[in-house]
Amino acid sequence: MDTLQDRTFQAFSRLMHEAIGVHFTAAKKPLVASRLAPRIQKLGLGGYEDYLALISGHTAGDAGDGATGGEFQMAVDLLTTNETYFFREPAHYTLIEQEITRTKPLSLAVWSAASSFGDEAYSTAMLLADLQLRGTLGSDWRVLGTDISDRVLRSAIEAVYPEDRLRNVTPERLRRHCLRGSGEAAGMVQVHPKLRERVRFGQLNLCQPIEDIGPFDIVLLRNVLIYFDAATKSAVVDRVLTQLRPGGLFFIGTAEGRVACTTPLQPIAPGAFRKT
């Protein structure tokens, strides 16, 4: 297969930016090429330009309106799905635990706004279930996970993971909240149905208007802003923060730095803020 030409890469980049806000710099060209090549070969296409022509017939609405099929959605999945695992950036979960221990709320709503395969949403649910068991949190709590990728959302609902993805989960939590596979499913873990009942998932494009899905007490928008340019980052953060209660906690990836936005935020730790 021919190499990915600069003009074709730029066309891919424009298409993704217009549709879902994702910005690919020139440094991302090898990543785009490597992630799309197997799919292009599987479809029997001549190369990157043929694939670009195939997905260019789609619009931003195809990705944001919940379409379950279409090659454009497949391209989105291939180009935006990154590594994830349970209790990633554990200091954030410590902050959540400290906040709940301090306030002892009777109810709590959490939004995992870029939930990918569900690792973050279920990690949060594990923590909240344990705090409820401890008597620190009331029984009225819920977690919402959203993502633009229909494929990862279907996987999140099934909640089946390789054991390595749960390497940061304590043995006690594994026993309480997970079921280990056996036989052909050895090495796999499924989140317990009782915990899955507390978590729901839905498709959402952060670069389009967000319906009133809140308000939330905690919002996690971690490790997704890296895909956006500066203007899109600011717009996405402001849009997401409309769903967070004043005084609520907001988290981004610790390596993503503070994002310029118009919503007043008080920094409380790396990647952690309070809406003022």
All CATH 3.40.50.150 domain ranges in the chain, comma separated? 90-275
Annotated binding-site residue? 120: yes
Question: 3.40.50.150, 3.40.47.10, 2.40.50.140, 3.40.50.10490: which CATH number matches 90-275?
Answer: 3.40.50.150
Scanning the chain, the segments in alpha helix (DSSP H) are 6-20, 29-43, 48-55, 60-64, 71-80, 90-103, 119-134, 150-158, 171-177, 193-196, 230-241
Annotated binding-site residue? 7: no
Spatial distance between the Cα atoms of 178 and 200, rounded to a whole number of angstroms: 17
Which token pair is 112?
Answer: 């995992």
Q: How far is CA 144 from CA 140, 155, 174, 262, in A?
A: 14, 15, 21, 25
pTM exceeds cut of 0.85: no
Annotated binding-site residue? 137: no
Annotated binding-site residue? 77: no
Annotated binding-site residue? 206: yes
Q: Please list the pLDDT of the chain residue by residue as tens digits (276 residues).
A: 789 999 999 999 999 888 888 888 898 899 899 999 999 999 999 999 999 999 987 544 444 333 323 788 888 888 877 678 999 999 999 999 999 999 999 999 999 999 999 999 999 999 999 999 999 999 999 999 999 888 899 999 999 999 999 999 999 999 999 999 999 899 999 999 999 999 999 999 999 999 899 999 999 999 888 888 889 999 999 999 999 999 999 999 988 877 889 999 999 999 999 999
Annotated binding-site residue? 14: no
All CATH 1.10.155.10 domain ranges in the chain, comma separated? 6-80
Annotated binding-site residue? 168: no
Just give the CATH number of 6-80.
1.10.155.10
